[in-house]
Structure 1
């Protein structure tokens, strides 16, 4: 269940928010609670019209169908206005713009969303925070990078798959670098030896 608490913590309900976003070249309202029943990749980035940010935003858009195929939606958030988001989308990628995106970009001009997810920097920008929220609105994964380096879409996808696997197989856990089809582990002092003797 999505929460109205004002901070984020893994294993706890994700802080809810309602905000203006840009999607399909139009302004729309996004509310996190409306995504219950789906997984959500919620990621923050510092500012529009910067350098590392478009590489991440475009990469998530290019891989959107892969996420949607496993019941997952993507939301990008920065402290820019919806007008800035729209202008950036209307700028060609060859000129540092975003072009069309397959998911909404949310405006956090008042910085309340970034604050509630503990990613607001001292300079008033959002750090590169990324959160995976499950179908019940519970935060299952949190990652925060500093401003200068981007995140991995492939690792986000792998982590999401691991979350989905253990939620559908509650008697198993996923070891390091687990990929779908790899051997899992039974979290038991005796049964776990089956995994370790096989590696």
Structure 2
């Protein structure tokens, strides 16, 4: 295991806790807007998702993994700042514990950070009661070169913080054709929702199959919107039980 790296993290966390005890806030985790690399991102909605490949920990073993391995399936690909941290395990464990719900709709989940595969494995082998992940049902991908993070616009270089190289909480939904359908980007203090991610995948899959569009808050079984025409300059909505759009020139 990468013992040196783990010990270094523990030293860094002591600094963070000291800061929190002084400020009494989550200021230590906030990132200046200038540090975000969204403007450099290759990840564009409705375009092919940037290719990635690397070493991941899958079922306790090191395996090579790449985006094309998921061709024909939807993929939830999410980044988190670092192993052995605080919000991150709550997100990763939540997705892992419910991955069967995604797999039931032909969707897989992969988590990624800038940690090495050795640190990933050490974290997995640490019991949850001791701050570890325990058994994982989703792959943890290593982005040690930071290239994947940069391609997806989540790489952060915060010069004023002990944890210099990190990632924001970016989540990307990639469809079965490799097209990027959704991007969520959170500031560091707030984790993401498994329920909302699952709902979005279900919504995109529904529109793929039926050609209809999903209104705000749509859930499986709810009414959808049928696009009844393709060209109009002035329109109004006429909602019936099926939420059909009626358009008028």
Give the SS at the match of 2:136: coil
Q: Which residue does the alignment assign to 1:166?
A: 207
Give the SS at the match of 1:180: coil
Q: Which residue does the alignment assign to 2:232?
A: none
2:134 aligned with 1:96: no
- Superposed, 1:10-21 pairs within 5 Å as 10-21=45-56
2:85 aligned with 1:50: yes
Q: Which residue does the alignment assign to 2:168?
A: 127
2:239 aligned with 1:194: yes
Whose Rg is larger? 2
Contact 1:80 1:107 in 2 (8 A): yes
Structure 1: distance between partners of 2:62 and 2:71: 22
Residue 103 of structure 1: how far off its partner (Å): 1.2
Comparing both structures, which one devotes a greater share of its residues to helix?
Answer: 2
Structure 2: runs of 5 or more not aligned: 1-40, 159-164, 230-234, 244-249
Write out per-residue CA displacement over residues 142-175 of structure 1, whole angstroms, 9 at most, x where no aligned residue: 00001111000000000110000000011x1000
Q: Which residue does the alignment assign to 1:111?
A: 146
Root-mean-square deviation over aligned CA pairs: 1.7
Q: Which residue does the alignment assign to 2:215?
A: 175
**Residues 191, 122 of structure 1: CA spacing in aligned structure 2 closer, same or farther, 3 A cutoff?**
same
Structure 1: runs of 5 or more not aligned: 1-5
The alignment of Structure 1 onto Structure 2 pairs a total of residues equal to 192
Q: Which residue does the alignment assign to 1:140?
A: 181
Contact 1:79 1:107 in 2 (8 A): yes
Residue from 110, 119, 129 that aligns with 1:75: 110
TM-score (norm 2): 0.74
Structure 1: distance between partners of 2:188 and 2:103: 27
